Amino acid sequence: MPPRHWTILVVPSDNKRPRSFTVSERGRRGILWGAGALATLLLAAIVFLFTPYATPAARLLFAENERLRSQMDGIDGQMLALTDTINAIGQRDREIRALAGIPEDSLASVAGVVSAESRPDDSRRSVAVLPSAPARKPFLNRLNFGGDKMNIGDLTRRASELVQSFSAVSDTLNRNLERIANTPSIMPTTGWLSSRFSQSRMHPILHGNRQHEGIDVSAPMGAPIIAPASGVVRSVGFVAGFGNTFEIDHGNGIVTRFAHCSRIMVRNGQAVSRAQLIATVGNTGLTIGPHLHYEVHVNGKPVDPLRYVLPDKIAN
């Protein structure tokens, strides 16, 4: 049987002479095998280039990435907590400064806003601040400092400013500690305010308009009376109209007076501290019932004692 062969006829479009090619059976098979091998190599190259292989090095790299991601999540939470803490400390710094009469200054502005000029040009870490942070945003996107942009450098400077501010406040408070301790700031007894400080008041017994240089606090007989601030006791005795009366000299021109006591538990020249028990409520002198008559004098002039009573959460 003669060998089989293939004839390929090529007919040009320009009326030129057709050309023919003869391919034997063996050549045809070679062409098909070559095309198949080329396609196989091409497919293998595609698979090799675009398929990730889990080699030992790749597995180690993947595990390291997961570990770093877990660490970043932990840092995320810590940074949020640190941000909240610094903001809370800044608020407390403002409150303490107000109480101590210390003005805010440029050293540590408690508002927590850093000017654009003070921020380094670091676009990788400077981010817009959100008023309320979503739960899973990267921590650098969740630093909230008064609506301004913040970065790690700003956070560090903010903490440093607060440390310096508290140091300045502490120094001032230590210098004024004695003055603060000796300034009346609490009510000497618990009861009902039955009569206020007044330039003209109808006297309940003498029935005439008189200046009332203090306040009257009605309370049960024997109720405790405490010192409104530290000081030295003076003028203990019985005074006409006021009954059992005594005074405390707090220094800086401030003197407090306590009248109508049933029992005085301190003596002349005795040093007392704030909130110390000093007497009990009574009705000695001209009274219509048990109460404490409480006066505050500054540089010899009577002032409204309620000006020297702070809210409990501040006074304590």
Provide the CATH number for the domain around residue 231.
Answer: 2.70.70.10
Say if residue 148 is in the same domain as residue 222. Answer: no
Say if residue 225 is in the same domain as residue 271. Answer: yes
Say if residue 235 is in the same domain as residue 273. Answer: yes
- The pLDDT of residue 249: 97
Q: In the predicted model, is pLDDT for residue 155 greater than 60?
A: yes
Residue 64 in any domain: the answer is no
Say if residue 240 is in the same domain as residue 152. Answer: no
Residue 82 in any domain: the answer is no
As a whole number, the mean pLDDT across the chain is: 77
Residue 78 in any domain: the answer is no
Q: 134: Cβ–Cβ under 8 A, 6 or more apart, which residues? A: 142
- The pLDDT of residue 207: 61
Say if residue 138 is in the same domain as residue 253. Answer: no
**Lowest-confidence segment of 25-34, 117-126, 262-271 by average pLDDT:** 117-126
More confident residue, 114 or 178: 178
* Token pair belonging to 160: 């440093």
Cα distances (Å, whole numbers) of residue 302 to 129, 194, 198, 204: 53, 19, 10, 21
Say if residue 102 is in the same domain as residue 21. Answer: no
Q: In the predicted model, is pLDDT for residue 248 greater than 50?
A: yes
* Average pLDDT rounded to a whole number, residues 191-218: 79
Provide the residue range defining the domain that includes 114.
87-175
Q: In the predicted model, is pLDDT for residue 204 greater than 70?
A: no
pLDDT band with cut points at 50, 70 and 90 for residue 256: very high
Residue 234 in any domain: the answer is yes
Say if residue 162 is in the same domain as residue 197. Answer: no
- The pLDDT of residue 88: 80
Q: In the predicted model, is pLDDT for residue 237 greater than 80?
A: yes
What are the tens digits of pLDDT across the range 297-315? 999 999 999 999 987 543 4
More confident residue, 42 or 142: 42
Residue ranges of E strands in 120-197: 192-195
More confident residue, 248 or 170: 248
Last residue of a domain, one of 175, 204, 232: 175
pLDDT band with cut points at 50, 70 and 90 for residue 54: low
Q: How far apart are the C-alpha atoms of 24 and 105, rounded to whole Å? A: 100
Residue 215 in any domain: the answer is yes
Q: In the predicted model, is pLDDT for residue 8 greater than 80?
A: no
Say if residue 97 is in the same domain as residue 160. Answer: yes
What are the tens digits of pLDDT across the range 94-151? 777 776 667 765 444 444 433 333 333 443 333 333 333 334 444 444 444 444 445 5
**Lowest-confidence segment of 12-16, 200-204, 294-298 by average pLDDT:** 200-204
Q: Give me Rg for the CA atoms of the chain.
A: 45
* Residue 220 burial (CB count, 10 A): 12
* Average pLDDT rounded to a whole number, residues 264-280: 97
- Highest average pLDDT, of 136-150, 163-177, 183-197, comes from 183-197
Say if residue 139 is in the same domain as residue 196. Answer: no
- The pLDDT of residue 134: 38
Q: In the predicted model, is pLDDT for residue 26 greater than 70?
A: yes
Say if residue 209 is in the same domain as residue 154. Answer: no
Last residue of a domain, one of 149, 175, 201: 175
Residue 66 in any domain: the answer is no
Last residue of a domain, one of 146, 175, 204: 175
Q: How many domains does the chain have?
A: 3
Q: How far apart are the C-alpha atoms of 277 and 264, rounded to whole Å? A: 10
Q: How far apart are the C-alpha atoms of 37 and 139, rounded to whole Å? A: 54
Q: Is-contact 246 188, C-beta < 8 A?
A: no
Q: How far apart are the C-alpha atoms of 127 and 118, rounded to whole Å? A: 15
- The pLDDT of residue 217: 95
Q: How far apart are the C-alpha atoms of 167 and 53, rounded to whole Å? A: 59
* Average pLDDT rounded to a whole number, residues 13-30: 76
Provide the percentage of residues in the chain whose pLDDT is more than 90: 32
Say if residue 111 is in the same domain as residue 32. Answer: no
* Average pLDDT rounded to a whole number, residues 155-179: 78
**Shortest CA distance to 197 belongs to which of 309, 286, 300, 302?**
302
Say if residue 204 is in the same domain as residue 306. Answer: yes
